[in-house]
Amino acid sequence: MTDRHPERDVLERFLSGGLSDEASLVLQRHLFLCAACEERLIALLPEPAADRSPEAGADDRGPVRRLLEDSRAELSGRWRGLAAERAAAEALWQELEPHSPERRRSLVAGNFRFQTWGFFELLIDRAFQAVFKEPRQAEDLLRLALDLTDLLDPEERGAGSVEAAKTRAWTHLGNTLRVLSEFRLAEAAFRTAELHFSRSWLDPLDEALLLSQKAPLRRAQRRFAEALELIDGAIAIYREINEPNLQGRAMMIKGITLQYQSDVAEAADCFRASLSLMEEPRLLALGRFNLVGCLQDAGRSSEAAALIPEARRGLEQAGEPCDLLRLRWTEARVLASTGQPAEAEDAFLEVRRVFLAEANAFDAALISLDLAALYLRRGRIEETKRLAAEIVPVFQSREVYREAAAALIVFQRAAEMDRLTIGLVDEVAAYLRQARNDPRLRFLRGPEDAGGDRASGS
C-alpha cells in the first residue's frame, strides 16, 4: 500500500486518460485504498452537464472521466463498504484466535461475516508481521487466507481481484515456507503465485512483491545471480511507481544477498542507499545494523565503530532484544579489529553466554571461533584449547548437520595438536555460516592438511 499521495496534475492526467496503463493501474489501486485521494479525484470532476442528451452529439469525455462521472455513487459506496470491513476485521479475528487452525477454517467457511476483503487484508498483514518470529503461525494464517479467497466476491472489486488476492497469499506463503527451510514447497508456492498473477489485474505492486519475496529463496538456494536479478526487478518497479519505502526494503534484501556472496563493499553501499529511502523505524534500525556489519567485514572498522552508537539507539527504540545482542557481537568484532582486545573479549563472552543459555548451537560455535581467533592473536594457547573443548560437545548435543559438527572437530583437534592457525579458524567459521543454509556442503579439511579445496557441494 502506498503512503505517497498523487499530485493534482497526476489526477488530472488520470481523468483525461493521459497516464500509462501501468501508472493508471497503480493509481487506481491507491484510490481504492485511500478515501482522501478518492474524494480529491471526485472533486475534480465537473457536474454532469444538464443538457447532455443522446442528441447532443458524440460524448467527448475521456474514458476514465466518463466512467467516474457515471459511477460516483458506486465509488463512494465501495469505499464505505471496505472501510466498514476493515473496522470489523479486528473483532472478527479476536473471535477466531482462540480456536485451532482447523476450527478457524471451518468457522470462516461456514459464516459469511468472515468472508470479506477487509478480513483477508488483516490475515495477510498478521502473517507478514509473524513470519520471522512465528513462521508456523504465519503459515496457518496464510492457509486460512487462501481458503478465504475462494469465498470472496470478485464483483466487489472488479475482474482479476480474486486472482490478485491469491497472488499475494501464495507469495507470502512461499516466503514463509522459505523461512521454515521447506524449499521445495516454497518453490511450488511461488509457481502458483505466478500463475495467479498472470490471471490478475497485473498490479505492479503485486509483481514487485513476488520478485522481492522470491529472491530470498534463490539466495537460500545459493543461486545468487538469479536472486540479484529478481530483486533488481523489484527495485526497478518500486522506483518507477515512486514507492521509496518499498524500494529501500528491497535494497536491504539485495544487500543481504550481496553479503551472502561476500561482496561486502557493494552490500555496504546498498544498505547505505536504502537508509535514505525507508521510513519505517524498524527497517531503518536494521539497515544501520547491517551497514555496521558490512563495514566491519570490508575492513572499514573505524567507520563501523562510528556508526555503532546510532545503530544501538535505533535498535533500542524499534528493534528486538535479539537485534541488540547481535549488534553487541558485531561491536565485539569491531573492538577486536581496532586494538581493544580486553573490551572485545568481554563483549564476546557476554554474547556467547546468551547463545549457550538459549541452546543456539550455530551462533555459540561461531562466536567461540571469533573468541578463539582473539586468543590466538594474543598467544593465549591454553585458553584456546579450553574453548575448543567446551564448544564441540555443546554443538554435538544439538540436532545439527553431521558435516558441520565434523568441521568443529577439526578445529578442536587442531587446537589439541597445537596446529591451530587464524586461517583455519576463519575457514571453519566461513564454512559454518554457509552450512547453516546448505546441509549438503562438505568440509574437506583435517588439521594436518596444508592446502587444496576446503569446501564443496555434494
Read off the C-alpha cell for 74.
Answer: 458506486
Q: What angle do CA 89, 94, 97 make, to 5 degrees?
A: 115
The pLDDT assigned to 72 comes to 52
pLDDT at position 445 is 61
Output phi, psi for 455, to 5 deg: -140, 145
Instruction: Determine the Cα–Cα distance for residues 303 and 197; give it in Å rounded to an integer.
Output: 44
> Which secondary-structure segment (H or E) carries 443?
strand 442-443
More confident residue, 43 or 168: 168
203: helix, strand or coil:
coil
Q: Is the pLDDT of residue 418 over 90?
A: no
pLDDT tier, 447 (very low <50, low <70, confident <90, very high otherwise)? very low
Domain ranges of the chain: 1-46+62-70, 352-447
The answer to whether 349 and 371 are in contact (CB under 8 A) is yes
Residues with Cβ within 8 Å of 171's Cβ and at least 6 positions away in sequence, in order, are: 189, 190, 193, 206, 209, 210, 213, 214
Task: State the pTM of this model.
Answer: 0.78
Per-residue confidence at 456, pLDDT binned at 50, 70, 90? very low
Strand partners, 456: 442
Q: In a 10 Å sphere around its CB, with 0-12 CB exposed, 13-18 middle and 19+ buried, how is residue 208 labelled?
A: buried
Grid cell at residue 441:
556442503
Considering the chain, what percentage of its residues have pLDDT values greater than 70?
85
pLDDT tens readout for residues 73-91: 555 556 677 788 999 999 9
Strand partners, 455: 443
Half-sphere exposure of 227 (CA within 13 A, CB side): 23
Burial of 165 per CB tally in 10 Å (0-12, 13-18, 19+): buried
| Rounded average pLDDT over 173-186 | 96
Residue 335 scores a pLDDT above 80: yes
pLDDT on residue 397: 62
* C-alpha–C-alpha distance, residues 122 and 141, integer Å: 10
